Every structure is written in structure tokens, then in C-alpha cells.
Amino acid sequence: MVKTRRKKYITNDVMYLFCISYRLQMITRNRK
């Protein structure tokens, strides 16, 4: 149970980082 929980948190962090990078890319594209 703990292991799966940890994995979930890790994937959540990855998705969060991915969303941030995606947003930054869109912002830079709009600036151009």
C-alpha cells in the first residue's frame, strides 16, 4: 500500500511539472 501510494505521488509530481513546462512553452510561443 505504501509503495503504491508513493508511486502515485511521484506520478502526480511528474504531471505537475509537465503541466508547468507546457504552460511556459505556450507563454513563450504567445510572446513570439
CA 2 to chain centre: 22
* Angle (CA) 16 12 10, round 5°: 120
Per-residue pLDDT of the chain (32 residues; tens, 9 = 90+): 567 777 777 788 899 999 999 999 999 988 76
Would the pTM count as exceeding 0.85? no
User: Can you tell me the distance from the alpha carbon of 24 to that of 32, in angstroms, rounded to the nearest whole number?
Assistant: 13
Provide the pLDDT for residue 10.
Answer: 79
Provide the pLDDT for residue 1.
Answer: 55
**How many structural domains does the chain have?**
1
Domain of residue 1 covers 1-32
